[in-house]
Amino acid sequence: MEITPKTPWKERRIKSGSFLDRKLSADILKVRRKHDSNIREIEKRTEYSAFMVAVCLLGALLLMVVFCRVSHAETIQPERLANAIFKAEHSKTWPYGIMHHYKHTTPRQACLNTIRHRIEDWNGEGDFIAYLGQTYAPLGAGNDPQGLNKNWIKNVRYFYNVQ
pLDDT per residue as tens digits for the range 99-151: 777 777 888 888 898 899 888 888 888 888 888 888 887 787 777 667 777 78
Give pLDDT tens digits for 42-95: 777 777 777 877 888 888 888 777 766 545 545 788 888 889 888 888 777 778
Question: Is 160:81 a contact under the CB 8 Å cutoff?
Answer: yes
How far apart are the C-alpha atoms of 37 and 27, rounded to whole Å?
15
Looking at residue 51, its pLDDT comes to 80
How many residues in total does the chain contain? 163
Please report the pLDDT score of residue 69 as a whole number.
Answer: 55
**Contact at 8 Å (CB) between 13 and 1?**
no
Q: Read off the pLDDT of residues 11-35 as tens digits, 9 standing for 90 and up.
A: 555 566 676 666 666 677 677 777 7
* 153 CB-contact burial (10 Å; exposed 0-12 / middle 13-18 / buried 19+): buried
The DSSP annotation for 49-99 comes to HHHHHHHHHHHHHHHHHHHHHHHHHHHS-HHHHHHHHHHHH--SSSGGG--
Q: Which residues contact 137 (CB under 8 A, 6 or more apart)?
A: 97, 144, 149, 152, 153
Separation CA 44–CA 29 (nearest Å) = 23
DSSP secondary structure code for residue 22 in this structure? H
- pTM, entire model: 0.52
**Short-list 157, 14, 4, 140, CA closest to 76:** 157
pLDDT at 139: 80
Residue 5 has pLDDT above 60, yes or no: no
Confidence at residue 16, expressed as pLDDT on a 0 to 100 scale: 61
